[in-house]
Amino acid sequence: MRHPESKDEQPLNYALRFTERARRDIDAETVYIAETSSPEIAIVWREGLYDTVASLAILPRRCPLAREQFRCEVRQILYRRPGSRFAHRILFTFSGEEAVSSDAPTVILLHVRHSASRPLTKLQARAIESQT
Amino acid sequence: MTLTLDLPEELAFRLNALLPEEERKHFALSAIAEALSAQEKDAVACIAGVEEALQDIEAGRTFSLEEEKARWQHQKAELLTKSGVIER
């Protein structure tokens, strides 16, 4: 495996891809927010999520490993719409990093889900904002 | 196993106000069991979601950020039309 984030090299620019499952998660959450809050808030949530995803193009391994056990490397970034007390976990993996691979290094979004049933504290919200 | 907890002052005050001392152990055990159960259910659902996504990758069902954003533009227009923000 290459070491795309070693100190001596420029950080790689990862391509970003979404699985069908991640798309469905995002659609379902958009509909839920539109119905329970407003379409305008759903739009802000979704576009903020794309900005957070876009930030994964550079140094995605700054994000921690997900706490569950998976059959491959799965990391997560937390995303919170400004003003919201709830966060979502964006879970992702990697492809195209092997030395023999002809594909570009890619971050692949796997799953988007609520991070917890409990609202965030102000401290937690600030910590999420400082990640991106 | 004995568990000793440092409670924040406000939480300790609420506990003292609401729960007689003789009921606290039973209450704490139930709360821990319930929280663990919720966490386990969440982990199972999360693993199932990721597993489904890994099968998407194996089957080639992935889309670029540009494709995803283009799809969103259509959905967004529909959402705004339905909500009356944009007149039909």
Cβ separation A15–B64 shorter than 8 A? yes
Q: Where are the domains of chain B?
A: 9-62
Q: Nearest chain A residue to B51 by CA: give it.
A: A70
Between CA A4 and CA A132 the distance in angstroms is 20
Interface test with A, best of B50, B67, B75 (most A CBs within 10 A): B50
ipTM above 0.90, yes or no: no
Between CA B15 and CA A62 the distance in angstroms is 39
**Torsion sign (Cα): B26, A117, A111, A107:** negative
* Residue with token string 């570009």: A104
Residues of chain A with pLDDT > 70, as a percent, come to 79
According to CATH, the topology of domain A15-129 is: YaeB-like fold (3.30.2310)
Interface test with A, best of B41, B61, B71, B72 (most A CBs within 10 A): B72
- Do the beta carbons of residue A84 and residue A114 sit within 8 Å? no
Cβ separation A20–B56 shorter than 8 A? yes
Q: Nearest chain B residue to A106 by CA: give it.
A: B64
CA A7 to chain centre: 24
Q: What is the pLDDT of residues A75-130, one digit of tens each?
A: 999 999 988 888 999 999 999 887 767 778 999 999 999 886 555 566 666 666 67
Q: Where are the domains of chain A?
A: 15-129
Strands A15-19 and A75-79: unpaired
Q: Which residues of chain B, if any, have pLDDT below 50?
A: 87-88
